[in-house]
Chain A
Amino acid sequence: MVALNPSSKKADKPVQVLLVDSRELVRAGIKRVLSDSDEVTVSGEVASCDEAIRLARQQQPHIVMVSLPGSSVDILDGARKIRRQFPDIRLLILSDESDLVIQERLLNSGVAGCLSSLCTVEELFAAIDTVMKGERYISDSLAQKLAQRRLPGHEGSPFDALTHRELQIFLLVAEGKNAATIAKELCLSRKTVNGYRNRLLAKFHMQTEVELMHLAIRHGLVRVAATTKQADVV
């Protein structure tokens, strides 16, 4: 799975990385690790992909590194936007290992590298090196999982057949957004959003949005962790 990226920036100067993470503490940590090496400078750090796009226009970094936990839609849409506006900037995505569906989509959409958010410092630098050479980087465990999915007899993911738009709406519904909000966010009419939702329900043979949400949680696409155990209440 190695594809050449035609653009090539010389690596004799430090690699400039723009960091995207909504958690200030995590940004500070990753920034420190990267800045401690001679090969990398962190040109900026922001909390969202929209801010990254604004900053990337001024800075033209070599790499935008995105680690947005929690919302798969944010990563998927953010990466798409950045790719579209800055085809020469390499995108490196850190995400939960369970997000196989999302990582596969990201790779198909042309991001340069996908890493587990649990990667080591060495692995992060290896990934930066690799994408700076114009190659693509996939973590070992992700490569394993992707390869296995391509073996005959392996059951595909139920999300394979969804278009980008369908997946986007599926995730937003599963996160608890209502039709009006989704319509506004995606610049669609409410009727269109409801049409998508009904099609999704039909595809998965389900009756309620809550069932869609359960499906998303079971596949690690939406995180909702129980923080207390209730005694039998009823």
Chain B
Amino acid sequence: MEQPDIRILLVNHQALVRCGLQRLLNDLPQLCVVGEASSGEEAVQLSRSLKPDVVLLDAQIPGLGGLETTRRITGGDPATRVVAVALRVDDPFPAQLLDAGASGYLTKNSGLEEISDAIRTVWRGERYLSSDVARKMALSMLPGSARSPFERLSRRELQVMLMVAQGQSVHDISDRLCLSSKTISTYRYRLYEKLGVGNDVELAHLAIRHGFVDLGLES
């Protein structure tokens, strides 16, 4: 008995990468690319009309973005499995994508073999996480670790964190909060420790990634 083809929708905004992956995947047994999309909106539309088995989704697809695209695709047809591919450092966090309905999560270090594995695994109805991500997620689920590092912050710490992430100086912050510079610095170092960062800029990166700071750049 011949296995049925696994029908794949390829979603990536780089035409070059789409073209290459399409050829590579089509060469593999049982895999068949039935469509390609370059934005989140297009992906949602094509997944409705083509009804692919698996959507291989760039986690930071322009337009709707990885999270919303995943939500709409799996919300529209839960039988369609989404494998998110996180290619950049600032991609959505694995837990968020899985919550949004993704069945698989790959990183930029995943090669073709792993992608092929992931596609077959989610097609069978199981989940697939690349090993580096699985390890990190397992650790974060141990007792005592919050889902978002920000959940561990007190109200005052959160306030200082926001001001630092907006680019305010220690001097300004101490003025606004009527606290001494020394106290503000103590808060900063406690924040570094709780958030696992080493300086103000890293703290601001993390805050922006978690949506605490709006830079007015809607992509």
Which residue numbers of A lie inside 8 Å of B, CB to CB?
22-26, 28-33, 36, 69-70, 117-121, 124, 173-178, 206-214, 217-218, 223-230, 233-234
Give Cα A214–Cα B112 distance, bound, in whole angstroms: 36
Given contacts A213-B205, A228-B211, A229-B211, contact A207 B169 (CB under 8 A): yes
Contact between chains at A33 and B108 (CB < 8 Å): no
Q: Which of B19, B167, B214 contacts A210 (CB 8 A)?
A: B167
Output the nearest chain A residue to B165 by Cβ-Cβ distance: A210
Contact between chains at B158 and A228 (CB < 8 Å): no
Contact between chains at A25 and B19 (CB < 8 Å): no
Contact between chains at A225 and B14 (CB < 8 Å): no
Q: Which of B17, B150, B167, B197 contacts A30 (CB 8 A)?
A: B17
Give Cα A70–Cα B212 distance, bound, in whole angstroms: 21
Give Cα A234–Cα B150 distance, bound, in whole angstroms: 12
Interface residues of B in 166-219 (CB under 8 A from A): 166-169, 172, 197-205, 208-215, 217, 219
Which residue numbers of B lie inside 8 Å of A, CB to CB?
13-21, 23-24, 60, 65, 67, 85, 87-93, 96, 106, 108-112, 115, 150, 155, 158-159, 162, 164-169, 172, 197-205, 208-215, 217, 219
Contact between chains at A29 and B21 (CB < 8 Å): yes
Given contacts A118-B14, A227-B92, contact A29 B210 (CB under 8 A): no
Give Cα A23–Cα B12 distance, bound, in whole angstroms: 14
Output the nearest chain B residue to A120 by Cβ-Cβ distance: B15
Give Cα A69–Cα B96 distance, bound, in whole angstroms: 23
Contact between chains at B200 and A234 (CB < 8 Å): no
Given contacts A25-B112, A210-B166, contact A225 B205 (CB under 8 A): no
Given contacts A23-B87, A29-B21, A32-B24, contact A176 B15 (CB under 8 A): no
Further contacts, 8 of them, CB under 8 A, given A26-B17, A174-B201? A24-B109, A33-B23, A176-B197, A208-B169, A210-B165, A224-B208, A225-B219, A226-B208
Contact between chains at B108 and A24 (CB < 8 Å): yes
- Measured between C-beta atoms, what is the minimum distance from A160 to chain B in Å? 22
